[in-house]
Amino acid sequence: PSSRVTLTVNGRKHTVTVDNRTSLLDLLREHLDLTGSKKGCNAGACGACTVLVDGRRVNSCLTLAVRLDGAEVTTIEGLGDGDRLHPLQQAFIDEDAFQCGYCTPGQIMSGVGCIEEGHAGSKDEIREWMSGNICRCGCYPKIVRAVEQTAR
């Protein structure tokens, strides 16, 4: 069975008909061509798919699209303002906080959530609240620095 869902993604309203089992990640990537959010594990373990739903961080691979009627979703594509990067995107560049870059969209969305939720007061707090985002290149110290700097 399929359902119609109307949701706002990065300020734009979309109405789509999706199979009821479709994840938000697949809706974004396959129906809306927003491929910034990455599919790492597709099982809630890596954080590469992190987006904000109504301002809260979620693993979009674990979130059913049909449950999001009326929701506001922000993805990495919607974070900057035109050509202007979000301060955390700039901090990732300044701190050289990525190598392969695959986890970076999820890290940045999680970092934004972490800051907005008020959980970026110290390196330890950032490490704890970003612990759902895995980086196989091991860029953690630089990621934490970028989040810490942006939160100041």
- Among 10, 24, 34, 47, which residue interacts with ligand FES (rule: CB under 6 A)? 47
Instruction: Report the distance separating Cα 85 and Cα 81, nearest Å.
Output: 6
Rg of the chain on CA atoms, in Å: 15
Binds ligand FES (CB under 6 A): choice among 9, 18, 27, 46: 46
| Dihedral, CA of residue 46, residue 84, residue 73 and residue 63, to nearest 10 | -10
Stretch that binds ligand FES, among 40-48, 95-103, 115-123, 138-146 (CB under 6 A): 40-48
How far apart are CB 73 and ligand FES at their closest, in Å?
Answer: 15
Asked if 39 interacts with ligand FES (CB under 6 A), we say yes
Among 7, 18, 34, 48, binds ligand FES (CB under 6 A): 48
Q: Report the C-alpha gap between 104 and 64 in whole angstroms.
A: 23
Contacts of 70 (CB under 8 A, 6+ apart): 6, 7
Identify the bridge partners of residue 17 per DSSP, sorted by sequence position.
4
59 lies in the binding site for ligand FES (CB under 6 A): yes
Q: From the list 2, 20, 41, 128, which residue makes contact with ligand FES (rule: CB under 6 A)?
A: 41
Contact positions vs ligand FES (CB under 6 A): 39-42, 44-49, 59, 61
